Amino acid sequence: MMSENKYLVKKVSVIDTFKNLPIGKSVTFDCRELGSYGTAQSAVSRLNKAAGVEKYKISTSDNGVTYSVIRLVG
């Protein structure tokens, strides 16, 4: 007996992605790859709040179509 096709959904973890960024290197993401600028900005805010210091910075030059995140400290 054959089983039905299974439809797998893989969810990207924005916070885990940012935690794995190299220290001191700016990495640019496309909103279609990782998520919207607002989602990324929220993740950066949460990570910085949890650390008690500014560990990550996010910026965009095209209204969120792409955005750059830099991990400042380890």
pLDDT, tens only, 10-42: 888 999 999 999 999 999 999 999 999 999 999
Residue 7 identity:
Y
Q: How many alpha carbons fall within 13 Å on the CB side of residue 30?
A: 2
How much is the pLDDT for 11?
Answer: 85
Question: What pTM, to 2 d.p., does this model score?
Answer: 0.84
How much is the pLDDT for 46?
Answer: 98
Contact 43, 18 (CB under 8 A): yes
Residues 45-70 have pLDDT tens digits of: 999 999 999 999 999 999 999 999 99
Tokens read off for 7: 């439809």
Rounded alpha-carbon distances, angstroms, from residue 44 to 3, 6, 8, 12, 35: 42, 34, 28, 15, 13
Q: Is the pLDDT of residue 5 over 80?
A: no
